[in-house]
Structure 1
């Protein structure tokens, strides 16, 4: 085999090999496999061309370049502390934490350079503005409403950056020592006031119950007297009716009977009694015996 033939075959093999390599490179450049947790921003001639989602994607080799590989996983900003002044002029320190994720990476990479820094600055300003609308008591008692308001304001502010704020948290509200001492004194004074009010209400309730008891006793006494008066009136009516129906003799007979019973009771005493009676009484007893014998 001649030298020219060998050189020709070698050149042919090199061309085939180069063509195979070129084909492999073209395939590798034209096929892009994007992980599930990412999105890729593609540029063509230095300008935004497309955004590749998870899976297999095809691009034009040597023309399309994947310039940015953006993670779409949820991210957490480092915990930050902001000084703020409440509506009632109390200086507080607010510890915040923000979670977000990138939805439109083409906006994020071309509209903002430092995403974390921009979000942190925005959150700090919004927290100060929201705290300034509330008194200290409202900041501590309505933390859920404050968090919702901050998250809503942050979402509106970062919407142009293709970002979604998934959660904003207020971790703690810190006060200086002087404010804490003043609040402690106020709390102790409030507890003492409540104790005095409770004691006064208890005394008032005791007086009310005592008055109710006395009123009830008076009502029962009056009721008993009324019943006794009604019974006495009824008995008097019965006697009057008996006198009307049976005449005066029946009444005299009952009186005489009572007189005799009284005399017998005196005579049956344990000691010896000397009974002195006026003449009128003797005549009355005599009439009584006559009635009884009759």
Structure 2
């Protein structure tokens, strides 16, 4: 399957640049898959509960976006530099995307008049850098003081209120981007969903580089995903198991939720699901000839086995066979 198969026209003037003040007034297109012809309905997110049934389970990604965008200077020359923190590789050493000239190994960086300093240690295969940070105090507190929330590249206006780029249920800090489907959810909407007898469960997947990285391979099956960390609790695993046992549906809010659920189910395709807190191996923008089958692995995908922590580089594309997720709500 070629990348060109996914081309479509999206006029720039139709890309929203500001969030709605009332989140769940966002438009919602409902696609009902049919054997002969799909049916479409045009609603708003306020109507979401109408499409859920008692006993269904709605699963949300409770990751929280870090203020991972840092603006600073090179020590000595004063040249401007911008970093986007992707993930912590070890204590105080991060994989980052970098913007600036001649940011080589050994380059010293300074942010916030010296409150935070860094040293470039190495170049990553993806074109980023490994940076070791030096500071007094707590890193996260300094990051919240000096950093900014990274916005998607299609958003060209600064947010007046950065809370609009967090879901209302965000809990676990670690993402370089928001799980955007969740931005349309309100407390009132969740109450409506619960009152209908629908379960609500949470997992965590910290969003990484692939949110910002285009697919460059002509054959999409050759594209390699960067690894993202996820956690599914015992409580969520039990809810999913019981939902499936009763023959009800799992509704995933956002593609990041889908990746976590399907990864926990033991799915594999052109990339390998990595579990058990193993650090992912780095790779670059190469497009190798695919050698692995786009088929489910022999690993058990019983819901009872879903409680876990790990890393995933699962890449889902047509004709993937879903094992856990029945319905997707996406942005």
Does the alignment reach a TM-score above 0.5? Answer: no
- TM (norm. structure 1) is 0.17
Relative to the length of structure 2, the TM-score reads 0.15
From the two aligned structures, give the one with the greater strand fraction. Answer: 2
Q: Which structure dedicates a bigger proportion of its chain to helix?
A: 1
Q: Looking at both structures, which has the greater relative contact order when contacts are Cα pairs under 8 Å and sequence separation is at least 6?
A: 2
